[in-house]
Amino acid sequence: MIRLLEQRADGICTYEMENDQLKVIVSSYGVTLMEIDMKAEDGTSENVILGYPTIEDYQKKSGTYFGALVGRTANRIANGQFKLNGKEYSLFVNNGPNALHGGKNGFSYCNFDSRIEGNSLIFTYHAKDMEEGYPGNLDLTCTLTLKGNELKIDYDALCDQDTLCALTHHTYFNPNLASDGSKLVLQIRADRHGLIDENVLATGQFREVDGTPLDFRKPKPIADSFDFEEIQIKNAKGIDHHFVLNGENPALVLTDPVSGRSVEIETTFPGAQVYTGNYLENEQGRDGIVYGENYGIAIEPQYVPDSIHNQEHPDAILKAGKPKHEEILYRFVQTK
């Protein structure tokens, strides 16, 4: 069942998606996942993502991107500049010397048109040519579908010019919000990860995870990776790295060993950025919880970061008139 909880004067709508296993609160502002409640057999439920109490909190643009769709391009673009078809483009620089997550007014801070269709919510947005510095009139549809213990996100994008389009959802998970996320157990089916510089910008180089703190091929507590003498962990103040997924599913699994609550993630994207909330500081969250460092784990399936500079054939290029489709699936499991 899907119902409209609120429609504000400014057009922002809040919806509730619910079945016998999950309840999801989502806003049309940034297609933001505000709350995901896992229901237990005894009738209780627990929220398993980070989020703010009010829409006004999201509108402060604090840079956490809790639960939001990010774009046109997720992650960082070096120096906020890129060249496409021989033309130079400049973006808003909002993360050190680089552009991050679509700019000052990226999709996370835009209100989408929305409607209910069956067991899905449909969100649409028209980004104008040169909005936030990106070429082309881009039409984006994001569809959320709730089925059993799964929440599926479909992205469909079409543009009238060649442009960059690299979307994701910046959802921070913590299946046990009674404590910070460093105690959670993470598995990533990836044999390689991307390297970052001191500004957490992807260098375009990759290394095997074997023998590094970032080897999560077998499940392990996240805190076990925090070797701050290791340059990659030091640069990010934790984990903020792209993992090249090897095609096995689920691609990533995050588990709370205390409660047994777990989220499994599958995706059509070739990789995923994992960020351990290294710069969260006294963020007032839902239910009176204050989020500090490492309180949530952002898992962001996406293309190679800064692919316009780091790939011969960049994943992020959306060709004029050619639709692009990607998917993310969250599966919520009680393991004990």
Cis peptide before 250 (omega within 30 of 0): yes
pLDDT tens track for 266-289: 999 999 999 999 999 999 999 999
DSSP SS3 for 309: helix
Catalytic site includes residue 170: yes
Beta-bridged to residue 268, according to DSSP, are none
Choose, from 35, 266, 283, 300, the residue flagged as catalytic.
300
Report whether pLDDT(41) > 90.
no
Taking the C-alpha atoms of residue 90 and residue 130, their distance in angstroms, rounded to an integer, is: 10
Choose, from 170, 241, 242, 309, the residue flagged as catalytic.
170
Taking the C-alpha atoms of residue 281 and residue 277, their distance in angstroms, rounded to an integer, is: 9
Taking the C-alpha atoms of residue 167 and residue 53, their distance in angstroms, rounded to an integer, is: 25
Taking the C-alpha atoms of residue 265 and residue 131, their distance in angstroms, rounded to an integer, is: 31
pTM (predicted TM-score): 0.97
pLDDT tens track for 145-185: 999 999 999 999 999 999 999 999 999 999 999 999 999 99
DSSP run (H or E) holding 59: helix 55-59
Domains and CATH numbers, the chain: 2-334 (2.70.98.10)
Q: What is the mean pLDDT of the chain?
A: 97
Catalytic site includes residue 241: no
Taking the C-alpha atoms of residue 24 and residue 289, their distance in angstroms, rounded to an integer, is: 18
Query: What is the number of residues in the chain?
Result: 336
Taking the C-alpha atoms of residue 46 and residue 39, their distance in angstroms, rounded to an integer, is: 7
Report whether pLDDT(302) > 90.
yes
Report strand pairing: 202-208 vs 87-90: unpaired
Running DSSP on this structure, what letter comes out for residue 247?
A: S
41 compared with 213, residue with greater pLDDT = 213
